[in-house]
Homo-oligomer: A and B are copies of this chain.
């Protein structure tokens, strides 16, 4: 296993210690638990937004905690859910009296965690609402669809709306609007290693890629020889636009996300093809985000997300954000 680590069992905690040391002004933990990650800022009457999920996807999930985005994050061990109690403790800390929105990925463990935390909050008269990201088109029907990089657009919309001091229902509606208009297609080129296991989480041949693979190595829709950037862009956009039609003259935001080991150079090569294909279809790009937004440690590969714009979403996209990990 080629990783810069100490004891594999200490992976998540060592990482968290490093993060708190590097960004001590902006973030802190509560309940004497490193896994209960919160912003240091409190804005009275603002709806608080809490997310959570397993370690190994930086900047997802905790990296989105900060100005203009979200307020707290339950940090699980590698690819594992945080506990209900951790989410409850975070909720108590970040709640400013306006309620708490739970916004996280559509995974069974996380759903159980947040549902239980929601019940615990109810008993303390903290109002909550929940919405899951489920943007990964190739992972199935909407109800079982996994949440991946497209959750970024939901954080962005909800965070911007919350900053307007909107109600919990309005912040939920902003997240829902982003969700309804966002789709992602991803693909893997090489695996990652879960520290405590020490072996790659899947195997791909030297010339092989996996279209539709999930960010935990969930199988995709086909494995086969690596296609060219143009071919990958074409197939991905065909899938995205079949699932969510975008008409001539409409605008989208594009998120080009690297899964960990894939270079920024390649993301821009791929974007060059994505933009060309969109341009042929007379779909224009309102804004492009390129970089690592939802990774799988050192996994190779990328994902393409599109978020169809309207005036409301454009306003959310342009709202400034500033966290230790994401500044836009």
* Interface residues in chain A, defined as those with a beta carbon under 8 Å from any beta carbon in chain B: 2-6, 11, 14-19, 21-23, 55-56, 58-59, 189-190, 206-207, 209, 226, 228-230, 232, 260-273, 275, 285, 288, 290, 292, 295, 297-298, 300, 302, 325, 327-328
Contacts and interface: CB of A to CB of B under 8 A. Distances in A.
Given A260-B263, A261-B298, A272 B4 contact: no
Identify the interface centre among A6, A19, A23, A263: most chain B CB within 10 Å of its CB.
A263
Contacts of A190: 2
Contact of A275 (B16, B21, B269, B295): B21
Contacts of A269: 4-6, 11, 14-15, 18
A4 B270 contact: yes
Count identical subunits in the complex.
Answer: 2
B263 A295 contact: yes
A22 to B, nearest CB: 4
B265 A15 contact: yes
Contacts of A226: 2
B232 A22 contact: no
Nearest to A322: B327
A55 B261 CA distance: 17
B271 A22 contact: yes
Nearest to A320: B327
B268 A15 contact: yes
